[in-house]
Amino acid sequence: MSRIEEALAKAAGMKPATQVLRTASSGYPGVPGNGNGQARPPMPEAVHASGLRLPEETMVVINEPLSPMAEEFRKLKEALVKMTKRERFDNLIAVTSATASEGKSVTSINLAASLAGEYDHTVLLIDADLRRPSVHKYLGLKSGKGLSDCLREGLDVGELLVKTQIGKLSVLPAGTPVANPVELFSSDTMRRLFLEMKSRYNDRYIIIDTPPVLPFAETRSIAGIADWTLLVVREGQPSLAQIQEAVEALDNKVLGVVYNAAQSHAGSSYYYYSSYSG
């Protein structure tokens, strides 16, 4: 077992990783690259099949679908599909991190885009980070009503979904800013809304981009409803104690760890995904 696997297994209090996918990391949170901390230059020949190109270079699945970086997200997608389609379809997946700026939003969007790019998967991406909503910015969408408005005003989710040009991907934006998101997310209304979406869209993946779990309480409420959680960890940022605290705060529903910008003994950077059983 590698030193990274040992550290994560110890921190999470789980069995050692059963799968590890790794490649060089760009230094951008959640985005693989060329291993020297520099982002790879754009690949004009690899523009998304729809012709869409986003200004954010971290959106590698859309901008550079043939790149090694995008391939790593496809590997993450394949691992996720394998583990969520067993006896039942666990389709409600939250993505978070222990602390801020570890790459959870970039991971959420690239994973959702990778899933939606296939004929077999329809995807709903929810921006549940009401404190720092970013999904619409990364995807070049206009801000408007969304999740917060569904919770506060009882608006129908279906009327607020934004279709994208990325395969079969729709987005529920964060919506109108609110002063105290905790009150919304600790309510029975929130639980009913997410369970309703899980039931209504039971044929598609629902990927939820949530706030970091340690600073903010609302992610814990979402984790209690979600089938599973992916925890994005950026090397050198959270301590092992913080990772362990995050796993416990997530009701031990961590399906896997997306380990970002990890440094090998040789000094190279790596991005990899490790899944756990038990």
User: For residue range 24-36, what is the model confidence (pLDDT) as tens digits?
Assistant: 233 334 443 333 3
Instruction: Please report, rounded to a whole number, the percentage of residues in the chain having pLDDT higher than 90.
Output: 54
What are the chain's domains? Answer: 3-271 (3.40.50.300)
**Residue 116: is its pLDDT beyond 70?**
yes
- Bridge partners of 206, per DSSP, are 92, 124
The reported pLDDT for the residue numbered 6 is: 52
Cα separation, 17 vs 15, whole angstroms = 7
**Residue 85: is its pLDDT beyond 60?**
yes
The reported pLDDT for the residue numbered 50 is: 52
**Mean pLDDT along residues 260-270:** 49
Please, what is the end-to-end C-alpha distance for the chain in angstroms?
17
Find the range with the poorest average confidence among 150-154, 181-185, 257-261: 257-261
3-state secondary structure of 175: coil
Higher-scoring residue by pLDDT: 36, 133: 133
Mean pLDDT of the chain: 79
Instruction: Please report, rounded to a whole number, the percentage of residues in the chain having pLDDT higher than 70.
Output: 74
Residues 6+ apart with CB under 8 A from 144: 160, 162, 173, 175
The reported pLDDT for the residue numbered 27 is: 38
Dihedral sign for Cα atoms in the order 181, 256, 35, 261 = positive
Q: Tell me how far apart the 2 most distant CA atoms of the chain are, in Å.
A: 54
